Structure 1
Amino acid sequence: MTLTKRCLAAVFIALCSTATGVVQTAAAADANYPNKPIRLIIPFGAGGITDVAGRMIGQYLGEALSQQVIIDNRPGAGGSIAAQALVGAKPDGYTLLLGTVGTQVVNKMLYSKLSYDPAAMTPVSLVSNSPYVIAINGIDGVDDLQGLVRYAKANPGRLNFGSAGNGSSPHLGIELFKLATQTDIVHVPFKSGAEAVNAAVGGQVNIVIDALPVIDPQAKAQRLKILAIAAAERSPAAPNLKTSVEQGLPQFQIGSWNALVAPKGTPDAVVDVLNKALATALKRPELMARLTDMGIETLPTGVAAYQQHVASETAKWTKVIQTAGTRLD
């Protein structure tokens, strides 16, 4: 063997040894996962339904992983700030995002220049969903969804609805209702869901949509009238409340859903550990009871279920947003 060939062979062996060492190191790191606290980024401030669900699930996920899950609230820009924080993190499983319909689906339709790409994330699993309810105030003679449809069609442009702002889930929920029923209802955006609900209580707007825990206290105090839960099945937290499907509007289904996602490039072995731990956490009777009491349902775990759900949500909200012409820039 010539000197040149011997040198090339030596270089090749060295490179192979280095690559093998890197693979072995990565494999060892994955095998030891997790060996330190995990940061869970939540794209909304403390106290909201996403934050409450995230904190509860984070607690039990941490117990299943035998590691602390630290909550990191990053509100703003419809979840874009939180999503950007995730995609810039190291893909080692120690930074996760509690994704929403905003971060994972609709933001890319609402902004022409998004600061992150949902595709630049590694899906882990769906987590939970809080079906929305639709409530009214000051609309005499309306007691159900079909009654609201008849009233809206008889009075085009005279009804209005409050939301947490342009492009928010409640806003898109009413746009979905309008599309499904071919009605004309005026949008009144507020800075938060709480402001929109208070405006409905005060009679400033006629209609409001939000999660059951947000609206139910006002309904029990007879300040708002809930017409339906926008879901296929009744909620154990409000078993007497009829669904939109039962009332003849199967297209009108919306909720505040969450999913666990990681930075792009997160190893499959880490995703597998997280999936198994999440499945264990969501089966804990005490967690299930706490979520059920709040009207929050758990969703199927796993990457495949996540991908199917996101595909379905993308098709639905693309049509709604295009029809409404909603843009945020």
Structure 2
Amino acid sequence: MMAVLCGAASVAGCAAGAAQPRYPDKPIRLIIPFGAGGITDVAGRLVGQYLGEALSQQIVIENRPGAGGAIAAQALSAAKPDGYTLLLGTVGTQVVNKMLYRKLGYDPAAMTPVSLVSNSPYVLAVNGVEGVDDLQSLVRYARDNPARLNFGSAGNGSSPHLGIELFKLATKTDIVHIPFKSGAEAVNAAVGGQVNIVIDALPVIEPQAKAHRLKMLAIADARRSRVAPDLKTSVEQGLPQFQIGSWNALIAPPGTPASTVEALNKALAQALERPELVQRLAQMGIEPLPTGVQAYRKHVANETEKWSKVIQAAGTRLD
């Protein structure tokens, strides 16, 4: 009898234990801080599908664009810390927004990190810059013609904007920034000759390069892409400081229990080991990143150091 029944003193404890449901026992909401169709949305939906399979639960995507991801991050911060609301964090939500806004409305450090997810290295492309075929010739042209070149971005403080500011800082060049409302508008402006330089994810730039509307000069990464294996990296071209991509991380609300983070991490690692997911990501120039909280913290520390120098040098503020 004692082997199968709780003692009187522990009845309440047994009842409480029995009442706790297995996590997750209902759909999980994944907030994506940009609109549908962009590289962050594509990565989030794809990884979310396989993460849901690993958790045996549905992942419901919710796009909440605006303010460089701050609107989505605020929604995440206000959610219950029960593991049923997650954010696909970005360099904006987790690192640079706190440097750009005096009143942010959320604290990235208070959020509960789960893991890094993926990265899509950016490609630098040009149009209408005669005699420029690689990064070093671009640097020479820019130095010989200060403030003659311009670049388009998805807006002040966006990753493409900060990416070219990083390039300018690394090469000591003067290139004029022209902000647009979206990355698509900036790429279209480069195709139309309104701007000379643009950077964005490989799936965005490569179709225009194949159509001979843009000339790709480099992938801003340490490794070549399997999608464009002939495109040299920024490291190969003598600019190891110029590395930038659209990276993502899985973030939970402040106060999320460690057991929930552990369950999510285990499931994410399983998802990112699926060959079919890795292949589908690779086809779009997206690479899985190391999983776990420690890898996330190390990455964010490195990104914080890098982008604080860039933002200070550029003098960029959004309020």
TM-score interval for Structure 1 and Structure 2 normalised by the shorter chain: over 0.9
What is the aligned length?
Answer: 311
List per-residue Cα deviations over 1:216-271 (Å, max 9, x = no partner).
00000000000000000001111111000000000000000000010111111110
Report whether the alignment pairs 1:135 with 2:102. no
Corresponding residue for residue 86 of structure 1: 76
Question: Amino acid of the residue matched to residue 124 of structure 1?
Answer: V
Secondary structure of the structure 2 residue equivalent to 1:119: helix
Matches of 1:322 and 1:205 in 2, distance apart? 24
CA offsets, 1:135-177, max 9 Å, x none? 0000011000000000000000000000000000000000000
SS at structure 2 position matched to 1:47: coil
Is residue 197 of structure 2 the alignment partner of residue 195 of structure 1?
A: no
When normalised by structure 2's length, the TM-score is 0.95
The match for 2:254 is 264
Larger Rg: 1
Could you tell me how far 1:32 is from its partner in structure 2?
A: 0.7
SS at match of 1:40: strand
- What residue identity is the alignment partner of 2:81? P
| Amino acid paired to 2:306 | K
Q: Residue in 2 aligned with 1:118?
A: 108
Specify every segment of 5 or more residues in structure 2 that has no aligned partner in the other structure, as ranges: 1-8
Equivalent of residue 287 in structure 1, options 267, 277, 300: 277
CA RMSD of aligned residues (A): 1.7
The CA deviation at 1:26 is 7.7
Partner of 1:35: 25
Cα offset, 1:120, TM superposition: 1.8
Which amino acid is the alignment partner of residue 73 of structure 1?
N
Tell me the secondary structure at the aligned position of residue 78 of structure 1: helix
Q: What is the CA–CA distance in structure 2 between the aligned matches of 1:72 and 1:28, rounded to whole Å?
A: 30
Q: 1:288 Cα shift?
A: 0.6
Partner of 2:228: 238
Q: CA deviation at 1:324?
A: 0.3
Give the one of 98, 101, 104 matched to 1:108: 98
Give the partner amino acid of 2:150.
N
| Pairing 1:1-329 to 2, within 5 Å after superposition | 25=16, 29=20, 32-329=22-319
Post-superposition Cα deviations, 1:88-110, rounded to whole Å, max 9, x if no partner, equal 00001000000000000000000
Instruction: Tell me the distance in 2 between the aligned counterparts of 1:278 and 1:184.
Output: 42
Distance 1:251 1:32 in 2: 46
Shift in Å at residue 27 of structure 1?
Answer: 9.3
- TM normalised by structure 1 equals 0.92
Change (3 A) 1:147 1:125: same
Unpaired runs of at least 5, structure 1: 1-15
Q: Secondary structure at the match of 2:198?
A: strand
